[in-house]
């Protein structure tokens, strides 16, 4: 079955919860062990001190480490991206920060596409720098030679540990060629990870892991949450890499809580319907804007012309244009503010 069908029940059994067809909200801080030996065994597995034995239940310990609404959510998230494992966080920034802290060390260089979501940009340029990690940016949408040159420049500064890509970029919708970044990372060394922030098109219309990326990151606050009532994030990838990120999460304490986990399970059931409708609406809005004299330029993937190098990247790695639009309006800040302050249905949020 496809992920949208599996969102109703995958990873949950009613006999765990007195027959309830929906997973309850397991609003508990901690879990009881049947014996001291069982508690010891659970901790050994959770802390990575040993692999679980064949068929061994890894066991619930404490809601910062694991809880049912979290584990069902993580299992369901893997389906969309075809990931081996997922780890969920209390925000997109928590997912990004915890992942970066797992793989970057003082002296390392991280090459990243530009622009980035503002919070991520701040993390790179004002927080990681305090820990001796050097960010080097390249412009999203620049030709392959420019990306190759950026890799060379980054490697001259220190050990290149990661290529971090946000594609499409917030807010310009500029695309970065994921397969190119994967090739350059592999040429630079086995332990150079490629991480992709897939918030703008995923998990429906872009699958970076299938293009060779090591890690996929999400702000689940957006499409996945979908109701503007929660903040959450996720990191997906191979079981091996994700278990390292999970260990970081345990000690930073950036775990999704039971209530948010439950809200996301609710949201995932309708995600494909919502995202598909949002995409259809976005096309109408983008077409309308493109025909208006007040609008200088519309940044929308569905309008990329044939022959544009960005169109070639789009055709290779995106399955649909999604719902994100930005546009430049004539008249500078005054013109933009006049437009914004005249909006009636859309909040300035």
Contact set with ligand PLP (CB under 6 A):
91-93, 117, 119-120, 166, 170, 197, 199-200, 219, 221, 231, 233
User: Closer CB to ligand PLP, residue 81 or residue 166?
Assistant: 166
3-state secondary structure the chain: CCHHHHCCCCCCCHHHCCCCCCCCCCCCCECCCCCHHHHHHHHHHHCCCCCCCCCCCCCCCECCCCCHHHHHHHHHHHHHHCCCEEEEECCHHHHHHHHHHHHCCCCEEEEEEECCCHHHHHHHHHHHHHHCCEEEEEECCCCHHHHHHHHHHHHHHCEEEEEEEECCCCCCCCCCCHHHHHHHHHHHCCCCEEEEECCCCCCCCCCHHHHCCCEEEEECCCCCCCCCCCCCEEEEECHHHHHHHHHHHHHHCCECCHHHHHHHHHHHHHHHHHHHHHHHHHHHHHHHHHCCCCEEEEECHHHCCCCCHHHHHHHHHCCCCCCCCEEEECCHHHHHHHHHHCCCCCCCC
CB of 90 to ligand PLP, least distance (A): 9
Task: Compute the least distance from the CB of residue 233 to ligand PLP, in Å.
Answer: 5
CB of 92 to ligand PLP, least distance (A): 2
Q: Which is nearer to ligand PLP, 140 or 188 (CB)?
A: 140
Of 120 and 250, which has the nearer Cβ to ligand PLP?
Answer: 120
User: Residues of 128-138 as b/e, b for ≥16 C-beta within 10 angstroms?
Assistant: beeeebbbbbb
CA angle 31, 37, 41 (to 5 degrees): 75
Decide whether 92 or 141 has the Cβ nearer to ligand PLP.
92
Closer to ligand PLP by CB, 98 or 199: give it.
199
Nearer to ligand PLP, 61 or 88 (CB): 88
Q: Which is nearer to ligand PLP, 104 or 169 (CB)?
A: 169
CB of 16 vs ligand PLP, minimal distance in Å: 29
φ, ψ at 75 (rounded to 5°) = -60, -40
Minimum CB–partner distance for residue 202 and ligand PLP (Å)? 10
Residue nearest to ligand PLP (CB): 92
Q: How far is the CB of 86 from ligand PLP (least distance, A)?
A: 15
Q: How far is the CB of 95 from ligand PLP (least distance, A)?
A: 8
Of the pair 219, 248, the CB lying nearest ligand PLP is at 219
Q: How far is the CB of 82 from ligand PLP (least distance, A)?
A: 21
């Amino acid at each position: 079955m496809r992920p949208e069908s599996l969102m109703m029940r995958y990873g949950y059994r009613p006999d765990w919860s007195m027959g309830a067809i929906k997973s309850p909200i397991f609003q508990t801080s901690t879990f009881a062990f049947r014996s001291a030996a069982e508690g010891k065994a659970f901790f050994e597995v959770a802390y990575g001190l040993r692999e679980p034995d064949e068929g061994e239940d890894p066991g619930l310990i404490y809601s910062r480490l694991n809880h049912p609404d979290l584990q069902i959510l993580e299992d369901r998230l893997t389906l969309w991206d075809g990931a081996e494992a997922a780890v969920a966080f209390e925000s997109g920034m928590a997912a990004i920060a915890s992942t970066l802290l797992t793989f970057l060390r003082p002296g390392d260089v991280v090459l990243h596409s530009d622009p980035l979501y503002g919070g991520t940009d701040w993390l790179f340029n004002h927080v990681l720098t305090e820990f001796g990690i050097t960010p080097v940016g390249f412009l999203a949408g620049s030709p392959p030679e420019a990306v190759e040159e950026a890799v060379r420049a980054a490697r001259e500064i220190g050990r290149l540990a990661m290529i971090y890509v946000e594609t499409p970029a917030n807010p310009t919708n500029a695309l970065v060629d994921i397969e190119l970044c994967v090739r350059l990372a592999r040429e630079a060394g086995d332990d150079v990870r490629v991480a992709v922030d897939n918030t703008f098109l995923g998990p429906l219309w872009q699958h970076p892991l299938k293009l060779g990326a090591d890690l996929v990151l999400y702000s689940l606050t957006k499409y996945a949450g979908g109701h503007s009532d929660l903040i959450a994030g996720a990191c997906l990838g191979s079981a091996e890499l994700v278990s390292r990120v999970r260990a970081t999460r345990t000690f930073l304490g950036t775990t999704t809580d039971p209530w948010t986990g439950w809200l996301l399970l609710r949201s995932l059931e309708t995600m494909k319907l919502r995202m598909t409708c949002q995409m259809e609406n976005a096309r109408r809005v983008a077409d309308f804007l493109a025909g208006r004299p007040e609008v200088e330029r519309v940044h929308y993937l569905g309008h990329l012309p044939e022959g544009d190098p960005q169109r070639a990247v789009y055709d290779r790695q995106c399955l649909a244009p999604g719902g994100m639009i930005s546009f430049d309006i004539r008249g500078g800040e005054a013109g933009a503010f006049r437009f914004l302050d005249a909006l009636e249905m859309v909040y300035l949020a």
